[in-house]
Amino acid sequence: MEIRTIHANGVEFAYLALGDGPLALCLHGFPDTAHTWRHLMPALAERGYRAVAPFMRGYAPTEIPDSFEVGALVADVNALHEELGGDENAVVIGHDWGTYPVYGTTERFRRSVAMSVPPNKWLGRGRFLSYDQLKRSFYIFLFQTPLAESAAAAPDFLERLWQDWSPGYDATEELAFLKQSLGNPANLAAAIGYYKSILGTTPPSGRFTAEQAAASEGPVRPVLYLHGAQDGCLSADLVTDVAELLPEGSRAEIVEGAGHFLHLERPQEVNARILDWLG
């Protein structure tokens, strides 16, 4: 798919697009790119949507801005919805870091899908602080230190994350795309900047207070939540009650035989669940 550009929320975004019709905004996470949606986008286009997958702020060829806080991501999605001609029939799908703006913008979209990362309120239940989960999440704490960029730039660091998070999946193609987006040290530092912001190592800018609050409060309209049963990043055992944190009418489902990148590992099954939810 051809890479196009659009200016939104003060950032020059690069994006992939396919199809015509209501907007279907697809938001990738870490360490990933807009190409992660290459299985879902044709299915959305066939269903009659204009599927758009932006490279998130700081991921080349999108511009590197000066803030990576969650509120900025929410503001990005609000602006992309407007600039891309989104209306009341628009839908949004997010994975990993892409879920944060989904949870903060559900009022703008007819339907919303989030995968692999539950709402912020889940953290209040203390599940994240289990010993096993803290071991899985070592990289979050590493990224708060001066060693972050050097460690992440090691030849096999991102590859090993993919191996741990989606056991048995051949991520060769994803890693090639990732090298294009994060191969430059400035882009890699930007991706790490998301984690520095979320734990407060980088103080908030103060420019996105309302958007930050919306993400923290969580979705106000129903959400489809999907999680891989073999997710090596965030154990599926810890999110069995995630439906309790979602608005009435939501669905939370575990996808067997899939890890963290479930939409790449089990594309036909995940596509079917998403399309069924979109209606």
- pLDDT confidence of residue 122: 87
The rounded percent of the chain whose pLDDT value lies above 90 is: 96
Give pLDDT tens digits for 1-27: 889 999 999 999 999 999 999 999 999
DSSP letters spanning 202-271 = SPP-SS-HHHHHHHHH--SS-EEEEEETT-SSS-GGGGTTGGGGS-TT-EEEEETT--TTHHHHSHHHHH
- pLDDT confidence of residue 175: 97
- pLDDT confidence of residue 139: 98
The pLDDT confidence band at residue 190, using thresholds 50, 70 and 90, is very high
Whether the per-residue pLDDT at 266 is higher than 80: the answer is yes
Mean pLDDT across the stretch 113-128? 88
Whether the per-residue pLDDT at 124 is higher than 80: the answer is no
The pLDDT confidence band at residue 145, using thresholds 50, 70 and 90, is very high
Alpha-carbon radius of gyration of the chain: 17
Distance CA 70, CA 214 (A): 10
